[in-house]
Structure 1
């Protein structure tokens, strides 16, 4: 398979324009007049479910079970078909073997009625897919496997689920006569044409006119189509793919290669080099028309498990190649069941990872299903088509270029030479001012501002021989320009920006060039690097690792549809996929007893590591286990795979977001399929070291007996405190560039690599491991007592709690809506269940109303991977600006562009009436290099909406309504929706943005969170609650609703304290009296404290309240409303001296408007009796003496009035004298008696 390089992607075109026009996304259900393609899942088991899998498929018992179940399902499907047709729909496929499903087309307005039909389990949308060899085949080691162990795929059946196969091409043993293809009627099978010895079966499930949304017209002839007006993708994609997987090879003279397949074959002796498994049988399962996409994948998979429909699954195909897919892996439950059951039945599904580039989560379905073998694309030894510069001599030589997908191929036109003439204008996006200068010459055009096809058409109209377009982005490789389906009559090529810069300086002096299909430019780059277009994982549904392996996919030459004998060159994971499918066929022949899963594991275990041109290793989320090595796999007898989940080989630890050290473990199962014991040393090899993350294997050495298994444990430990500040891995650029624009990307922190099993005699085995890791916080709003004074006062909200994240961000909003989780929700609470909504604006920080933004905050119960999955925004915010509760604007989350900026996320506003984008801002309001708001793996999101985009609103007419919806790409489309919420930003009761980062409601690390209060806009409910979002917190702690009281902020109040204390007490006696704390006026008082004290030795022996919590020194009250009174009772024991008792009221915020009534003090006199004085006691001069019942010796009872307090000079001797005098008086009275 000789090779040239016309760089193309999954759909053979990386970009259509330099500045793409982005239409409004489909964020709502389809119009009532549109038709939907739906899977109707029915009650009852499919055929596979009733089989005894312990018995061969061909056993009499299983055949009988299968046939009886097929008959039963036919009756069920016939009855259900009648019901569907009665609703105005049509059944396009009846799936019975691997699932019990009808695929239907039905008007959207009637789709909901399907769920009410008896026997229907659920209804889902049908996934829509697009179609996504020379040195490459030797590069993966296939020719060495042809010789040792002699595996060429013989006896193995490969199903090509694609656009069909040109079985008339010489690469498949056909006649090689292009006229035979032209004369063939693709709707019928002409006698003797099909099946062939190579393409032994197949079916056209859709017909040539099918485009993915139109009706189907199946027929028995799966011949690939090629039409002059079709896109290159549509014409011959399946033929090209089939040739890579299992083409027989075409000699230079156009004849089919028929000799032995040896490692010594010279690619230069072939027009088309043989495929990876040249002796495998092919099945053409045609699910695409001549143009457009498809939703007929599961019909082909279901057909493949029993091609002759006899109920005996033993003739199932061995390998299915699926060079197709959709971005971001938006999976279908029905399709997941089909894939799982197909693998269980013995088929290995090999699927292209996609061509959306180094964007997180973008790898597409069906490659993201666990059981599939997902294939990324690598670069091997490559060469490009060359533009030869003939003069001037100073710049003469070859530069790389790539032909357009819409232009006439140079292989048809032959060599073209001419003078380069620059168009005026330079980008040819309007009528050419120098059209006459281009006639008979080669147009030189700069990329930008309009479609490629429009530029080239203007060159055609001017009479140009060809067109050379200069890229406006600095890139290492030229790519194939995409088109609109029409082919231009002249060749057009794209050259690199750097080469164009050099050429431009010489145009005035005349530059002569030659374009020739046979002229090549050999690239001076290392092999085994990932192709720039290959889609990155992990998968978007849960963050588990995909893709699985990689294979060459850049500039692959294979069979060209309708050409008879010629090759066609294409790039993409669509080409890497059949490399892996052919390899799987070789391995299935070499290891006939192994299951489909074992073959998948064997391919992943024996891969080669990859690196970029600087030697930096490729992360596992981009290249999987590595580049396949067929020869090593063919000689291997041991497989290693994760113990869970079924169908997975890689160890996916998922997402670990934690505030404390955590260790998680998973098991690996080592299976020895050979006849001798194997001893392995095990180790962990991270792709890049990550401080704070470690991985180990236990035990470190293991012996696996023949035909036995052993289990080892892999432990991953994460210490979030040691994790560094988040940064992309060394292979991943921190910014994304297009033209002169560069933007910081969002990214995830991955900890990945390989578990390596080594022995002394064989190549090492590898199993990828992968985890998404992030240090998290447990932050929450704290309390800081503060008094609110003034007309526009700020309050502070302290943030407290444990935290390991290095760049925590909190954002604050007016809280609008809380929704509790339902007890029995229709769907599990998760990324689609809305629980909180808040809003803020920045009007206080900007110059005018139209300069301002709204900030709508949404929180859900679960956690998403990414809120913007390509065409799907998890959220859709409907805005009504006219008061009729009809959606005038739609706000969604989406990537910044469909191309290079997919990891730059935006909040985008569309006007519904025009379908036009009217506003765009950074999702979460800040760029990644400003604040780290963690949009990936989160539960909280901020949608900025420019007020200028909402043209009906003004400062005098600012009220609007909005509602939030969560959505999915499949029926029933809308998962959760709030009621309409009305809001006026000019009357917002709080301003959470004024003190925030750049006047927005976001606060970065160390920022003081301050909220301004607009009390004049409060409603009857008082202070509005606040919604706080903690972007870096752990799951379940990322949002909270707080009030003024929660953060300790209060408005002034007037508290008064009073008491009914006695003025006299007996010494050492106890007395109880009430104390009252009364809220006289003002706002509710919070955190009220009553403190009590007594002097001169008096003791407080009891303190209690009917509403507070008391100790012996104070009582505290959570709140005291206006007009309320707290009743306290105190019991005090007097000492021997007068004392003062004081009760004082205060609040934590020290927010009393009248402090004069905050304190009540009573002076209490202490009265004494004889027993009050202890022997030897010496009271001081201030001691109050009351000797009312003093009895002297002899029993004299004298009534003595109390003595007033003595002056300070009064001494103890004076007291003795007075006492003696009173004794004598008592004695005289006694004698008189």
Structure 2
């Protein structure tokens, strides 16, 4: 193939995955199959000039299996085709106008509290310029997702049409498959934006348009998502929601580029940041698109259970398992150890709370075993650092919750020493960053993402034939998309950049359990406040300062230009300040100035890295304040020092090539590598078998290559464990992949 197109990645619906059990390796895996030359594939072509459909039809005449899927002109220049692998390969070599190609692989993908929480109920008292209440009326909102159940009574009156890029028709209904491949995600997203019945969404009178790019199982190809963006631009959509993403943190993939172009065309693009938190550098494409509004997930007001014992120094926070029954215990109950939750570990648990370690068997099985043994509740503690979100099936009839490894190990020590009684206390908490919410920054350009946060935990919304609570950044993004519809109705002449700025300028800075602000690359500007955004009288663009990388030179300095606009009705005096100066950076801020109504001014901020920066820190962030005499705007900033510690290996995928003697692999290296390779191991013994590939001085971006299967290894591919590694400036990172049966391309994703 020609240069690999950075877009053939697995996109997923952004719902948090059920936490996995400990990794176990099965040495008896099915044989990895050889793709047939007659296998149907979808290929995406990027071209130097706009393609002509008539010319393309003539070009494919010699190839009986090939047909044209989509021709792109609006946000991407190129086309996609489908055909037998062997004929596609021949066509690829003959077509002269191609910049690069890639196989178009798969993209995947409670309101009563959350909607009022962001100020959506208060804006109903506000009016637009025509005297109508702010409900999103007249604003067109597009949803690229699994479709919409447009017969749902809460959505039917708002649904105006759409297109299905999975089945190739104009009926974007959710998948309905008797074999269990039904979908509901797009309907849930649509309800958050504009439900108008029993439930009320953020913008209950907005017009809904569905672009079904993800089919059964919530999966769709790259070109289908691109086609959805392209059609939304053609349909003059005002706001576009994409609650989908990859685990690749990159600012330059086709979907991110397409979204940036859509914003240039006047579309307000809203994306999910991803569900791979709490680690840094986990924000995924298209949440990395610089011009889109990338949304992280926060908590609405929630009643949070804490485990209490008077002898403990602090109460232990419980995270109820998703899909299970609510944790509603109050009276003290005895706690006992339950091992790994296997039947043999649960002999004397009747009427008690059982403490179980994560790992080996699924959560549902652990809880069902305890339930069968008569337990009152189950607490599962992590086997790695940090919190986690677990999922259990609806067969579970007792409460189940998760705690951290640290808390679990302390509880285990207590249980070894004495009989422990624990009761439950409840606290109302809000504006906490969801543990699963992906964090930034963005690799390569070091941008701050997400831009803002919105409620994404336990959000009840519409689904086919009813209502359901879900959580994820998939639920956070449509809160913002609905808010964009309200703001667009209130200020129809505002550009996407101005609407994004209004939300960032008026966001509420969130703080953790210790009262410390979350970092800028975790929460962006903070949690959205729609009522304040509607009434803002000053716009600061951009809403955050991504300063970039400052090397070790003492006097290295960077300049950043910002536009300040007075959108109020009175003259305003502006003053910059730094509330809490950070060590290691010095700012030269503009002098005070005055703007008349409607007037704007560009200002320059100088940032200098000092030698006194914290030696162990590679991400320095904080905020600058701008006062207009009435409102104080917090402008988050971020700069990175030298070469930060970000993942060097992403999107590793490997499969047998068309030729049975070759393997085909793909990988993304956001920082390049001084040394890169793929090592093979025996998964049963982890014995080193040899290198599949190895090279030095590899550049930034995607690698796609076919390599011969090493004959000297004399191993069965179904028993090979592959590790891709990259070493750069004394640092090493790797990604593992078990060569596991029958899918043509093995992908890792954030679910």
For 2:635, which of 751, 764, 767 is the aligned residue? 767
For 2:138, which of 146, 155, 158 is the aligned residue? 155
Superposed, 1:674-689 pairs within 5 Å as 674-685=568-579, 689=582
Offset, 1:448:
3.1
Distance in structure 1 (CA, Å) of the matches to 2:96 and 2:465: 49
- 1:356 is paired with a residue whose SS is coil
- 2:189 is paired with a residue whose SS is helix
Offset, 1:918:
6.3
For 1:165, which of 142, 148, 151 is the aligned residue? 148
The answer on 1:707 being equivalent to 2:598 is yes
For 1:304, which of 232, 246, 252 is the aligned residue? 232
Structure 1's 441 and 909: CA in aligned 2 closer, same or farther, altered over 3 A?
Answer: farther
Partner deviation per Cα, 1:29-64 (whole Å, 9 max, x = no partner): 996767654321234348xxxxxxxxxxxxxxxxxx
Distance in structure 2 (CA, Å) of the matches to 1:447 and 1:894: 35
Partner deviation per Cα, 1:1028-1073 (whole Å, 9 max, x = no partner): 99759xxxxxxxxxxxxxxxxxxxxxxxxxxxxxxxxxxxxxxxxx
Q: Contact (CA 8 Å) 2:136, 2:204: kept in 1 or not?
A: yes
For 1:448, which of 353, 358, 366 is the aligned residue? 358
- 1:584 is paired with a residue whose SS is helix
For 2:123, which of 135, 139, 145 is the aligned residue? 145
Offset, 1:446:
2.3
Distance in structure 1 (CA, Å) of the matches to 2:196 and 2:60: 43
For 1:218, which of 161, 164, 168 is the aligned residue? 168
Q: Contact (CA 8 Å) 1:421, 1:444: kept in 2 or not?
A: yes
Superposed, 1:1143-1158 pairs within 5 Å as none
Offset, 1:671:
2.5
Offset, 1:589:
0.4
Q: Contact (CA 8 Å) 1:401, 1:493: kept in 2 or not?
A: no
Superposed, 1:164-203 pairs within 5 Å as 164-172=147-155, 196-203=156-163
Superposed, 1:1043-1054 pairs within 5 Å as none
Give the match for residue 427 of structure 1: 340
- 2:282 is paired with a residue whose SS is coil
The answer on 1:120 being equivalent to 2:120 is no
The answer on 1:279 being equivalent to 2:192 is no
Partner deviation per Cα, 1:366-392 (whole Å, 9 max, x = no partner): 111111111111223113599999xxx
Offset, 1:169:
2.9
Partner deviation per Cα, 1:997-1054 (whole Å, 9 max, x = no partner): xxxxxxxxxxxxxxxxxxxxxxxxxxxxxxx99759xxxxxxxxxxxxxxxxxxxxxx
For 1:102, which of 57, 62, 79 is the aligned residue? 79
For 1:650, which of 532, 535, 544 is the aligned residue? 544
- 1:530 is paired with a residue whose SS is coil
Structure 1's 685 and 224: CA in aligned 2 closer, same or farther, altered over 3 A?
Answer: farther
Ranked by relative contact order (alpha carbons within 8 Å, sequence separation 6 or more), the top structure is: 2
Offset, 1:330:
3.7
- 1:868 is paired with a residue whose SS is coil
Superposed, 1:399-414 pairs within 5 Å as 400=318, 402-405=320-323
Distance in structure 2 (CA, Å) of the matches to 1:701 and 1:509: 65
Give the match for residue 43 of structure 2: 38
Distance in structure 1 (CA, Å) of the matches to 2:541 and 2:220: 33
Superposed, 1:1127-1142 pairs within 5 Å as none
Give the match for residue 495 of structure 1: 401
Q: Contact (CA 8 Å) 1:550, 1:628: kept in 2 or not?
A: yes
For 1:667, which of 532, 556, 561 is the aligned residue? 561
Distance in structure 2 (CA, Å) of the matches to 1:654 and 1:917: 44
The answer on 1:558 being equivalent to 2:464 is no
- 1:765 is paired with a residue whose SS is strand
Offset, 1:356:
1.0
The answer on 1:630 being equivalent to 2:533 is no
Partner deviation per Cα, 1:1167-1205 (whole Å, 9 max, x = no partner): xxxxxxxxxxxxxxxxxxxxxxxxxxxxxxxxxxxxxxx
Q: Contact (CA 8 Å) 1:399, 1:499: kept in 2 or not?
A: no
Give the match for residue 17 of structure 1: 21
Give the match for residue 240 of structure 2: 320
Aligned length: 666
Q: Contact (CA 8 Å) 2:280, 2:441: kept in 1 or not?
A: yes
Superposed, 1:987-1136 pairs within 5 Å as none
For 1:241, which of 174, 186, 189 is the aligned residue? 189
Distance in structure 2 (CA, Å) of the matches to 1:306 and 1:592: 19
Q: Contact (CA 8 Å) 1:541, 1:865: kept in 2 or not?
A: no
Structure 1's 971 and 590: CA in aligned 2 closer, same or farther, altered over 3 A?
Answer: same
The answer on 1:578 being equivalent to 2:478 is yes
Give the match for residue 290 of structure 1: 216
Structure 1's 227 and 612: CA in aligned 2 closer, same or farther, altered over 3 A?
Answer: farther
Distance in structure 2 (CA, Å) of the matches to 1:119 and 1:887: 28
Distance in structure 2 (CA, Å) of the matches to 1:10 and 1:504: 38
- 1:15 is paired with a residue whose SS is coil
Give the match for residue 756 of structure 1: 625
Offset, 1:435:
9.3
Give the match for residue 269 of structure 2: 349
For 1:609, which of 493, 506, 509 is the aligned residue? 509
Structure 1's 1029 and 621: CA in aligned 2 closer, same or farther, altered over 3 A?
Answer: closer
Bigger mean CA deviation after superposition, 567-576 or 365-374: 567-576
Distance in structure 1 (CA, Å) of the matches to 2:572 and 2:390: 49
Structure 1's 719 and 137: CA in aligned 2 closer, same or farther, altered over 3 A?
Answer: same
Q: Contact (CA 8 Å) 2:680, 2:692: kept in 1 or not?
A: no
Q: Contact (CA 8 Å) 2:370, 2:378: kept in 1 or not?
A: no
Q: Contact (CA 8 Å) 1:158, 1:320: kept in 2 or not?
A: yes
Structure 1's 35 and 385: CA in aligned 2 closer, same or farther, altered over 3 A?
Answer: farther
Distance in structure 2 (CA, Å) of the matches to 1:108 and 1:334: 23
Structure 1's unaligned 5+ residue stretches are 1-8, 47-72, 173-195, 207-216, 251-271, 308-315, 390-396, 514-519, 643-648, 728-748, 775-862, 877-885, 896-905, 920-948, 953-959, 981-1027, 1033-1233
Distance in structure 1 (CA, Å) of the matches to 2:478 and 2:292: 14
Q: Contact (CA 8 Å) 1:750, 1:770: kept in 2 or not?
A: yes
Q: Contact (CA 8 Å) 1:330, 1:969: kept in 2 or not?
A: no
Structure 2's unaligned 5+ residue stretches are 1-12, 128-132, 310-314, 655-660, 711-726, 732-751
Give the match for residue 55 of structure 1: none
Q: Contact (CA 8 Å) 1:329, 1:541: kept in 2 or not?
A: no
Task: Name which one, 1 or 2, has greater alpha-carbon Rg.
Answer: 1
Distance in structure 2 (CA, Å) of the matches to 1:22 and 1:156: 53
Offset, 1:970:
8.8
Partner deviation per Cα, 1:850-907 (whole Å, 9 max, x = no partner): xxxxxxxxxxxxx89745344449xx9xxxxxxxxx999x999999xxxxxxxxxx99
Distance in structure 2 (CA, Å) of the matches to 1:965 and 1:918: 29
Give the match for residue 391 of structure 2: 481
Offset, 1:593:
0.7
Distance in structure 2 (CA, Å) of the matches to 1:713 and 1:140: 32
Structure 1's 907 and 340: CA in aligned 2 closer, same or farther, altered over 3 A?
Answer: closer
- 2:479 is paired with a residue whose SS is helix
Structure 1's 249 and 471: CA in aligned 2 closer, same or farther, altered over 3 A?
Answer: farther
Offset, 1:461:
12
Distance in structure 2 (CA, Å) of the matches to 1:659 and 1:399: 45
Q: Contact (CA 8 Å) 1:162, 1:322: kept in 2 or not?
A: yes
Give the match for residue 745 of structure 2: none
Structure 1's 336 and 462: CA in aligned 2 closer, same or farther, altered over 3 A?
Answer: closer
Offset, 1:151:
1.6
Distance in structure 2 (CA, Å) of the matches to 1:201 and 1:561: 17
Distance in structure 2 (CA, Å) of the matches to 1:371 and 1:420: 54
Give the match for residue 721 of structure 2: none
TM-score (norm 1): 0.48
Offset, 1:951:
5.8
